[in-house]
Structure 1
């Protein structure tokens, strides 16, 4: 039976162009990019090209990009690095309650070493209020960190408005854009961010590679001390193989940003679900201000994981955690005040470049068959 993958927010497959550009580095380009001889120089050039490709996708200078092992490291570098370098100016950080664990857990760690963190709530759509961010600012506030989009429900945050507030108060602003880069246009200057996180495996690059944008003038303390790699911010010989893959993925992503295919397919799926299940299916997240590929829906009075277990050839995810027969509502849906009988039925369908209309139709057939079987049994 056909297997269908609708968990692109979890991870994407490698784009074939990415695979092609990485292959030569497995054999021919093996030198250390820091070496000055014939084996090192071409590798250094490839690394520089990759940095330029990443920078061009978000409209910044290549010197403002450092490579990391992924989104989690980039987030840790942004938060811990900024705090340790700038805590003499103040010790207050503002974030939201629905951030990724790679933001929330570093914040909890920093609280143990003297930081004060304000966790701002969200509305029913999972959206942060810029007014609440401004209210939380104190004379000790040195950093605001708000995700560009929520990985679970896809809601886009008002980053530009928050950026204007941060600039007005002279506060550094970081955004975790792991789920957004490559899906929606990102311009760091338009957004007003000083730090921005990129995760490779969310945009058809390999796992184990990411990047952090650091606006010129922003100072961070390195997390890994050693030699002067990555402008002195990340010691260790660069992983050129994966960096080249990320660079190519960023380059080809620019070609997809103007396409509406993903948005149309996602909307088609939502319309089909509403047509089939009516009031028994509910959208989680903002109806318009969300990622074009992300559809988080709840099947009312159902358990999302039970539905996915009954359709083993469908790869999708839930926002709930199951522990020894009990079901724990997603922290994101909790913060959105989604009722438990709705929230436990949540399923996130995240589409990708390889998703087809035929696959959407097949998913609907599976859901209809499952629903019919339950009606017969009841």
Structure 2
């Protein structure tokens, strides 16, 4: 084991931890001391190796296993339906049942409603003081509203939904606050599921119950969809806007040629790769990665943020290049656990950036990037993005 402590904190706004980048070039399959967890961790940093780990179920995601690095968060009563935390055959059954909800065609049908939500948020921004926090004004409400509507949350309950979701995903919240928010969200989703059992609707929960999901599976799936589709997209919206304002030549490219926006979204997703925790795995047998044997029972972290900066796959990886159109990135993971809602996230980002470019021509940062507060652990993002428009 290397004497170097593994550090998962991101301290640079525009790049992965330097330690991870050094490992990629010098020790791409490295056993490090993860002092914060009281164990060693195999850090996997090369693109091909990361994809190999994430596509192999022998690197287990099953958090019910006592040796899994995320076992501390496992609770038998709440894990049902949360496919991110299980292996086949259960994973295959539940994921297969819900995949049809997120096809390209179904997601495309959401565009008019997403455009309406974004326009209403921008209307409110223009109607009030022309200065504020974009995270609060737009980046958080949009994904929360979209997933809430997919789950069938009544409009009058959205404030409750958003408030508790924000507490759950806030790294500054106390453990007690997060526990209370988790319980409130789960209890609320349970009431939605119970209502659908009596009177089915036209939402995802109703369709999953009709397709054979149990009550507990529907509750767990609803909770997962809310959390997975809420903070990650919110973080990407704020980081993307920050980048365009901090590097105005990129913003000008989009103004000059709006047709490149889908490619720009892919490049920004690759560049930031904000969701890291999905790469945690447990080796269930001795497994070879890049010529190195990882023993059974080992904690493995497939680092997608460095995989997406692998120069062998992405030339000049630290440069944002909208012409790259790198749909082969692993920002949404890879393999069987690849993000279900990735097409929704892409669409939300595309709509937000287009509407901001069209409707907020005077948008600007009110503080330099060096003074912004970033989320260092878990899902990378911004706590606030103070802007004027």
Interval containing the TM-score (normalised by the shorter chain): under 0.3
Larger radius of gyration: 1
Higher strand proportion: 1
TM-score by length of 1: 0.25
Higher helix proportion: 2
| Greater RCO, CA 8 A, separation 6+ | 2
